[in-house]
Amino acid sequence: MDLEFRDRLDRVIQSIEKARMGVSLHHIVKIVAVSKYTDSHTIQKLYEVGQRAFGESKVQDFEKKYSELENLPIEWHFIGRLQKNKVNKLISLRPSLLQSLDSIELAKYLNERLEQRGEKLNALLQINSSREPQKAGVAPEQAIDVYQEILERFPNIRLKGVMAIGKHSPVVDEVRQSFREVYQIYEKLQKDGASICSMGMSGDFEIAISEGSNMVRLGSILIR
Ligand SMILES: *Cc1c(COP(=O)(O)O)cnc(C)c1O
């Protein structure tokens, strides 16, 4: 067992505990360790100290690590921008959750491929909470309509909730506000079956949890 990784994970879990207890004793938060910065060896070390869910942002890297770690029952998440020409490959790797579904167009393409293969895929709708045009995700104003349209038109995609990257700002209140807006969307989508609100990264996960996040994606704080 690698004590350094155990300590890092323990410290993160303690911070998450504090934040989630502030919301409610019943508020459970899942950790997805973002492994895009690292290799299979390090993933295995984190696995050995108890981490099970890992997130990758490039299909090629995901494929490599997936095959190197095939013997471990890792729960893989895909969190990066998905190009159409990588869709078939991604489906064949059977991720447990695609967190970065970010347009109707991608949903349509993905659904066609899934239908051809007779498969289903769990996904989150990515929301561009900071409204920066170069960032991925649907605009907050459109998120509910887009979510419902995907539910209605694309039955091979199983939408489970929403994902967002918080606003990149030194002003805590602005970061908080961006999470709050996404949470309000998530709340409205619960009647449509949404159960995952994935928000919070290494620099802002405590704020995200206090605004209702139940899934955090942590990279640099776990893996340096
Ligand atoms: C890289 C990445 C993360 C992790 O970022 P850290 O700040 O290193 O924790 C989380 N979510 C997404 C979508 C990412 O691309």
77 pocket-lining for ligand 1 (C-beta < 6 Å): no
Q: Is residue 59 part of a domain?
A: yes
Q: How far is the CA of 33 from the centre of ligand 1 (A)?
A: 9
Ligand 1, closest atom to CA 205?
Answer: 9
Q: Is residue 183 part of a domain?
A: yes
Q: Which domain holds residue 23?
A: 2-218
Per-residue pLDDT of the chain (224 residues; tens, 9 = 90+): 678 999 999 999 999 999 999 999 999 999 999 999 999 999 999 999 999 999 999 999 999 999 999 999 999 999 999 999 999 999 999 999 999 999 999 999 999 999 999 999 999 999 999 888 888 999 999 999 999 999 999 999 999 999 999 999 999 999 999 999 999 999 999 999 999 999 999 999 999 999 999 999 999 999 97
220 pocket-lining for ligand 1 (C-beta < 6 Å): yes
81 pocket-lining for ligand 1 (C-beta < 6 Å): no
pLDDT at 204: 97
pLDDT at 130: 85
* pTM listed for this prediction: 0.97
Which amino acid residue places its CA nearest to atom 10 of ligand 1? Answer: 217
137 pocket-lining for ligand 1 (C-beta < 6 Å): no
C-alpha triplet 96, 99, 100: angle, nearest 5°: 135
Ligand 1, closest atom to CA 201?
Answer: 9
Q: Is residue 58 part of a domain?
A: yes
pLDDT at 132: 82
Which amino acid residue places its CA nearest to atom 6 of ligand 1? Answer: 219
pLDDT at 154: 98
- How many domains does the chain fold into? 1
pLDDT at 194: 98
217 pocket-lining for ligand 1 (C-beta < 6 Å): yes
d(CA 93, CA 45): 22
Q: How far is the CA of 55 from the centre of ligand 1 (A)?
A: 9
CATH number, position 104 = 3.20.20.10
Which amino acid residue places its CA nearest to atom 11 of ligand 1? Answer: 217
Q: Say if CB 204 and CB 172 are below 8 A apart.
A: no
pLDDT at 134: 83
